[in-house]
Amino acid sequence: MSQLITNWPCEQAFVEEVPAAVVWGGPSIAGMEQEWQKDKPVEALARQLASLDYEIDRAETDIAEFADSQQAAEKDRKLTLLFTGVITQLNEQRQKAHGGIIRYADGQAKRANQLSDELDEMVRLQDDNSAEAQQRLAMMQQEMEIKQRMFDERESFIQHLCTRPRLIEEKLGILARTIAYYLE
């Protein structure tokens, strides 16, 4: 999704992914993007922490237990690997959320164009006094009320969808700070 995004409907600026440096004050994660998956305990905890249904209140305990179980010489590296796994997965979740929001907004834009075309036709039909035109106009007016209501409901849902990337960012910030707390 690295192309220019022109149809972003959210108030929050579109940022494709959260750079590690924005939320992480620990060691560099450069080169660790694939390595975290090779360490099974790190991978398991990273997946658990990043899962959609993970209760963030458990993070402190889960990360503390993980940090305490590490050998001193490996602790910072393992915690950095853990953060790498968490940011990788949460950025993937953000990208999926972005894709869904953009598809939803594109669908709304198409529906808006269809409604506009139908309104134009209704204006033309108002000028046609034939019984056939007036019958079609009456039918279109009834349909338009329903379509407009559905459009408005979908439009209001966009702002709800827009909260998803922000919530993922907040979760990433909490997890990054919690993991960094245990660095030596």
Segment 119-157, tens digit of pLDDT: 999 999 999 999 999 999 999 999 999 999 999 999 999
Residue 15 in domain? no
- Report the 10 Å Cβ neighbour count for 77: 15
- The domain tally of the chain equals 1
Residue 74 in domain? yes
Residue 6 in domain? no
Mapping DSSP onto H, E and C, the string for 48-107 reads: HHHCCCCCHHHHHHHHHHHHHCCCHHHHHHHHHHHHHHHHHHHHHHHHHHHHHHHHHHHH
Among residues of the chain, what percentage have pLDDT more than 90?
Answer: 93
Residue 4 in domain? no
Please tell me which residue, 88 or 159, carries the higher pLDDT value. Answer: 88
Average pLDDT rounded to a whole number, residues 11-18: 92
Please tell me which residue, 79 or 13, carries the higher pLDDT value. Answer: 79
Residue 10 in domain? no
Residue 109 in domain? yes
Average pLDDT rounded to a whole number, residues 95-106: 95
Domain residues for the domain of 139 are 20-181
Q: Record the pTM.
A: 0.84
Residue 9 in domain? no
pLDDT of residue 5: 75
